Amino acid sequence: MIPRTVYDSEHEMFRASVRKFLEVEAVPFHAQWEKDGHVDRDLWTKAGEQGFLIPTAPEEYGGVGVDFRYNAIVDEEIARFGLSGIGWGLHSDIAVPYILRYGSEEQKQKYIPGCISGEIITAIAMTEPGTGSDLQNVKTTAKLDGDEYVINGSKTFITNGQLADLVIVVAKTDSSGGAAGTSLMLVEANTPGFTKGQNLEKVGMKAQDTSELFFQDVRVPKANLLGDEGKGFVYLMQELAQERLSVALNAVSSAESVLQQTVEYVKERTAFGKPIASFQNTQFTLAELDTEISSARVFIDRCLELHISGELDSPTAAKAKLLSTDLQCKVADECVQLHGGYGYMWEYAVTRAWADSRVQRIYAGTNEIMKLIIGRALFE
């Protein structure tokens, strides 16, 4: 394995603590959480006590103020264990950073300490039925009425949707303004008119609560506007590079883990009286996958370095997401094949990884959208 220079000894000490925590507090229970459709809420507060939630948050709000490498380590270890139900990445890498970057001091003081402790679980409500990746044309509205915004509309495929205490809602404050009419609203889960629909039954990521959300005349004070009115689409575009990097980190770590599990499996599984690891086809398949994963790891680590220095641009983040998630799906599929019939049995980690991987090419912008972003950059 190529040495990873993006991390130093302190990072690896943090990784060891995250890994130990997950081995004790998550791995033994994840199968039950898959049946329940969500992880135990206690896991969030336990993680908060250990400093695993939003490690980038400033000290004045109860955080430790480190850089994104610590988020990356949490993402990588969750993926390595196949703990796809744990929604910390959405919380720490995507939702809460909007509040930290664009929120008022009052909003930060009110919400960030609870987000760090795990007492407040967040979600971000972008996707709507029929819109998919087309964030400019969301139908949910937030109309100003005196000192309150009145929100109406619906969202779907919302990660952390069932457990969320605070949701960042993408809504139109000016229905005729296109992208310039989009704003972000903070909506607490107990707000009258805000209801959570069913916990959606998915092909994979079964322990991850993913929900429909409904807003019927939901009234929130003007103070719940996140940032400036009409700037929501701009904010979304500015934060997508980190979101796509987060997905890429998850993808490569999952691929590495699945490959290693398969190497161990083919040493033990026999066919025609010999371990299938001895067959040239097995060796060639795994050699190709190992080479591709190594190449992807080097690139994703470089993207992480660029992000830490504030230099990760949109096309490069799109490349990271496209490359890593396509590879993750390829690795999972090839490794299922090498497991034979057992690769189709849910009890095997490779099977769950295969089911979990497919959505990675869809969310955070489909991989077709990634190609559009990369392609446009070629002709600028």
In the block, residue with structure tokens 């805000």: 194
Judged by phi (left if over 0) then psi (alpha if -120 to 50, else beta), residue 365 lies in left
Taken in order 91, 93, 94, 99, is the CA torsion positive or negative? positive
List 77, 229, 239, 243, catalytic entry: 243
State yes or no: is 368 an active-site residue.
no
> Which residues, including other chains, have CB under 8 Å from residue 21's CB and lie 6 or more apart?
46, 47, 50, 52
Instruction: Please check whether residue 354 is in contact with residue 375, taking contact to mean a CB–CB distance below 8 angstroms.
Output: no
Q: How far is Cα 89 from Cα 92, in angstroms, rounded to an integer?
A: 5
Q: Which residues are catalytic?
A: 243
